[in-house]
């Protein structure tokens, strides 16, 4: 149903904007060490994979990164996010994080589901008084993520949140 909030399109990269992003990322994949996408809502940090409940070979690394990310958010604001495999939310094929993980071969490919929590009455309409806090906690989360990237034995960033 093209009117659905979760309509996947007719084919991969059938929209100009997604085609431009895929072309850019493919062209620069050798420079890319991290892929992140932001969505709302549910207060989740989603790790690969989304199309299957089978664990990827780098699942232990993803668990470590997830713990660092949700820890940074809680430290900043006290807000609780949950780190989990993307398919644990609901199995879905064709998401960009899985494409970056599987096709571009990027170990560190994640999705943030921002505030509010799933039981909130606000859903996709985050109250204005929560926007700044959401941004601040997610800057700390991104720094924690960067500090834990799998650089394949290359130089790591050395900083703490």
Catalytic site residue from 113, 136, 137, 160: 113
d(CA 59, CA 57) in angstroms, rounded, equals 6
Whole-angstrom distance, CA of residue 24 vs CA of residue 47: 23
**73 contacts 81 by C-beta, under 8 angstroms:** yes
Of 47, 111, 53, 39, the closest CA to residue 85 belongs to 47
Q: Is 113 a catalytic residue?
A: yes
Q: Tell me the angle at which helices 59-77 and 131-147 cross, rounded to the nearest 10 degrees.
A: 140
Q: Which residues are catalytic?
A: 113
């Amino acid at each position: 149903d093209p009117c659905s909030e979760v309509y996947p399109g007719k084919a991969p990269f059938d929209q100009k904007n997604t085609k431009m992003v895929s072309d850019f990322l493919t062209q620069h994949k050798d420079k890319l060490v991290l892929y992140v996408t932001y969505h709302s809502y549910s207060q989740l940090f989603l790790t690969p994979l989304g199309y299957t409940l089978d664990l990827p070979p780098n699942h232990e690394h993803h668990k470590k990164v997830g713990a660092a990310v949700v820890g940074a958010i809680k430290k900043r604001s006290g807000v609780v996010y949950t780190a989990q495999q993307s398919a644990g939310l609901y199995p879905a094929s064709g998401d960009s994080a899985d494409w970056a993980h599987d096709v571009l071969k990027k170990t560190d490919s994640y999705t943030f589901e921002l505030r509010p929590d799933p039981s909130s009455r606000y859903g996709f309409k985050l109250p204005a008084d929560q926007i700044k806090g959401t941004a601040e906690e997610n800057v700390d989360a991104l720094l924690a993520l960067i500090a834990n990237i799998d650089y394949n034995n290359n130089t790591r960033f050395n900083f703490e949140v």
